[in-house]
Structure 1
């Protein structure tokens, strides 16, 4: 599905190659049957706005948006497992799924990096794509609402993916939860995240290790636990049996 390759490139770090291919990308979007006319128009507008910017300004904005704080991380498992041990096994499982479906990862990015995940899905059947996008639809909606809250036009990319998934998500509930979040990309929030914490050996909480406090901090990005996403991460062998 070519539209997923397009969104993958647009959601990745802006490059000169991306900017020079703007007209070709717009043509692909306009010919996409997977998106509604409104979504196609919004995606084309996004491409025109992005590629009309100075490249270095666009790159700086991208860094400040996605690499500053965890709330807008493009790593899927950041929003599911945080820093728990389950995250490592989930990475291994996802990489095995890639390999079992003949997808060779030629990237330094982690396997749960959304643009890489989309690159993989773009080579699969429409049924496979819808199911796997559906599995992360809550994460995509959460990211979209956070971008909308920050008045950032990158939300169009996430909304396009949600449409392709065909899944209806209760956006109102997620939007309300997002509106109550504290921003984690401010100087104060970043300083607080990295500040050294006092180690107490008489901690009345039962000698909880520092790492436990860090995990609690990760989960705070999940307002009211509304984003406990029912991600399935399908078994690789099952996918092979199905011929996918």
Structure 2
């Protein structure tokens, strides 16, 4: 699904390629009928927000949002497994899923980096992509709620992804707000230093073993070159079906 690829680009660390492809990305968002008009407009507004700045300013703002601790980390398993041993195995399992599908990633990439996971889903058929999003809908809602709390336009990505997963974004994010209200957030420099001082993650080392330490999301920002079925799916290609939903 092309729209998932577009959202992957929007959520990734801003690079010149994104700025240069601004018109094409705007057109792709506008032509997507799998999300509501409101969601399309919110994504276009985010694109304008990113591409309307100087590149260094966009990168600095991105880092200040997503690279200040684990609160808004774009590494999925940090939210799911934290520092437990289960995180290392989850990484290995996800890598195996990528390899089985013929989806190659660079050795430096962490497989649970959300823009990378979205790029993988964008390469799959529609049902697999939607199911993959539904599998992480609670995480998408949590991040969406935290971004809404920060009044960040990046929340649009998570609204759209939840809609593509076949669930009601407002309902899911509304439920997540209860957890967000209880979040202890310490983004002082001392807390950040302590949070990221662990050894970086390395997977599939020379001895074939996986290490399950933690790594800062900053190591995963990169330029792009290029199972139940959800029951609330709305296909906006059907105008009569879409009417009244939004």
TM-score band by shorter chain is 0.7 to 0.9
1:189 equivalenced with 2:191 (yes/no):
yes
Q: 1:136–1:105: structure 2 CA closer, same or farther, 3 Å change rule? A: same
Deviations 1:114-138 (A, max 9, x none): 0110111001111111111001011
Give yes or no for the alignment of 1:98 onto 2:98. Answer: yes
Structure 2 SS opposite 1:105: coil
How big is the shift at 1:24? 0.5
Q: How far is the alpha carbon of 1:193 from its aligned partner?
A: 4.6
- Aligned-residue offset at 1:182: 2.1
RMSD in angstroms over aligned alpha carbons?
2.1
Residue in structure 2 matched with residue 21 of structure 1 by the alignment:
21
> Hey, what's the Cα distance between the residues in 1 that align with 2:196 and 2:78?
17
Could you list the per-position Cα deviations for residues 21-70 of structure 1 after superposition, in whole angstroms to 9, with x for gaps in the alignment? 10110000011121111111111111112111111111011111111110
Which position in structure 2 is the counterpart of 1:138?
138
2:178 alignment counterpart: 176
Mapped partners of 1:170, 1:157: distance in 2: 14
Structure 1 residues 20 and 104: alpha-carbon distance in aligned structure 2, compared to 1, 3 A threshold: same
TM-score by length of 1: 0.76
Task: Give 1:92 deviation, angstroms.
Answer: 0.5
How far apart are the structure 1 equivalents of 2:186 and 2:156? 22
Closer/same/farther in 2, CA of residues 64 and 85 from structure 1, 3 Å limit: same
Size of the alignment, in residue pairs?
Answer: 198
Structure 2 CA distance, aligned partners of 1:192 and 1:119?
31
Contact 1:71/1:184 (8 A) holds in 2: no
In structure 1, distance between residues paired with 2:96 and 2:196: 34
Q: C-alpha displacement at 1:186, in angstroms?
A: 3.0
Q: Summarize deviations over 1:76-122 as a string: whole Å, max 9, x none.
A: 10011011111111001000001111111136220000011011100
Change (3 A) 1:115 1:194: closer
Is the CA contact (8 Å cut-off) linking 1:69 and 1:185 kept in structure 2? yes
Matches within 5 A, 1:93-172: 93-106=93-106, 108-168=108-168, 170-172=172-174
Could you say if the C-alpha distance between residues 187 and 94 of structure 1 is closer, same or farther in structure 2, counting changes exceeding 3 Å? same
Task: Name which of structure 1's ranges 11-20 and 99-108 shifts more when overlaid on structure 2.
Answer: 99-108
Q: Which residue of 1 aligns with 2:58?
A: 58
Bigger-Rg structure (1/2): 1
Offset, 1:158: 1.2
Partner of 2:202: none
Task: Write out per-residue CA displacement over residues 168-225 of structure 1, whole angstroms, 9 at most, x where no aligned residue.
Answer: 4543331022022122323353366579xxxxxxxxxxxxxxxxxxx9xxxxxxxxxx
Q: Does 1:10 pair with 2:14?
A: no
Structure 2 residues not aligned, in runs of 5+: 198-213, 215-226, 228-246
The match for 2:68 is 68
Structure 1's 123 and 171: CA in aligned 2 closer, same or farther, altered over 3 A? same
**What stretches of structure 1 of length at least 5 have no aligned partner?**
196-214, 216-231, 233-244
